[in-house]
Amino acid sequence: MSLRIVSWNVNSVRIRIALLRKLVEQSQPDVICLQETKTNDDSFPLADLQSLGFPYIVFSGQKSYNGVAILSKQPISRVNCLKVANSEDKRHISVELKDGISLHNFYVPAGGDIPDPEQNPAYGFKLRFVEAMTEWSDELKKSKENAIILGDFNIAPLPHDVWSHKQLINVVSHTEPEITRLNKLKDSYNWCDVARHFVDSEQKLYSWWSYRNRDWRKSDRGRRLDHIWTTPDLKPALKNFSILKDARDWTSPSDHVPIMIDIDL
């Protein structure tokens, strides 16, 4: 069974129903994982999204902040929401796909502007969040469960994951403490970073461009904040990876664009 899976920080699901429709029409995904849905569960636009061809939808949200959802054309099971780092924030949801493969959708905190946990508690929370993900990954490895993790990790780990490694080395999302922790998470189960499996690490690769850029395409000051990883045994099943860069030019876009994989399960 071949699956096309999309991950997208949609930056408010209710505002971007039309863009989700466009995504579905253009890319025909089988599964869509959304972050930053920004709505309570009782206001989630379930019927609108089901009308796009996704009868199986699970979500966990909160008003104005955070929120995650998984939309699927295929039946899903074992829905779970972790309280990562003992937080009540709605930043994780998971399901089981066919053949027992789990799919985990994470929304890592942005971490504020000051890269100092004492001056900026949001940055400290971000570091603890990724540490907690690593503890979870350690347990997952013990179970030998095959899994896909994805979402807005809010960290660009490699020099060419940002427009200027030199200028951003002390900017939150590309600081050494964040990168060290994300690498420790990656190493904990030898996760395959799908983007860099297909695209050489010496090539610039971004999934986010700030709203502050008047001409985002001309300046191209991006960061690769969105990720899809698989456990090692799934690496041979990977067929393709793409970043839907043109979505940044859609009407009233998110500052993130969708990323997509094709995988044979």
Name residues whose C-beta falls within 8 Å of residue 47's C-beta, 6 or more positions apart in sequence: none
Instruction: State the sign of the Cα–Cα–Cα–Cα dihedral 198, 261, 102, 179.
Output: positive
Q: How confident is the model at residue 265 (pLDDT cuts 50, 70, 90)?
A: confident
- pLDDT band at residue 213 using 50, 70 and 90 as cut-offs: confident
**pLDDT band at residue 1, thresholds of 50, 70 and 90?**
confident
pLDDT tens-digit series, residues 61-97: 999 999 999 999 999 999 999 999 999 999 999 999 9
Position 195 confidence tier, pLDDT thresholds 50, 70, 90:
very high
Query: For the segment 227-240, what is each residue's pLDDT rounded down to a tens digit?
Result: 999 999 999 999 99
Per-residue pLDDT for 135 more than 90? yes
* Statement: residue 98 has pLDDT above 90: no
Structure confidence by residue, pLDDT tens digits, 15-45: 999 999 999 999 999 999 999 999 999 999 9
> In angstroms, rounded to a whole number, what is the distance separating the alpha carbons of residues 221 and 76?
38
Q: Which CATH class is domain 2-264?
A: alpha beta
Residue 112, pLDDT above cutoff 90: yes
The rounded mean pLDDT for the chain is: 97
What number is the average pLDDT over the span 141-154? 96
pLDDT at res. 264: 94
CA atoms within 13 A on the CB side of 172: 20
**pLDDT the model gives residue 102:** 97
Q: What percent of the chain clears pLDDT 90, i.e. is strictly above it?
A: 97
- In the chain, domain spans: 2-264
Residue 237: its pLDDT value, please? Answer: 97
Q: What is the pTM of this model?
A: 0.97
Rounded to 5 degrees, φ, ψ at 68 are -140, 155
The span from the CA of 103 to the CA of 94, in Å, is: 5
Tell me what the mean pLDDT of segment 117-141 comes to.
Answer: 98
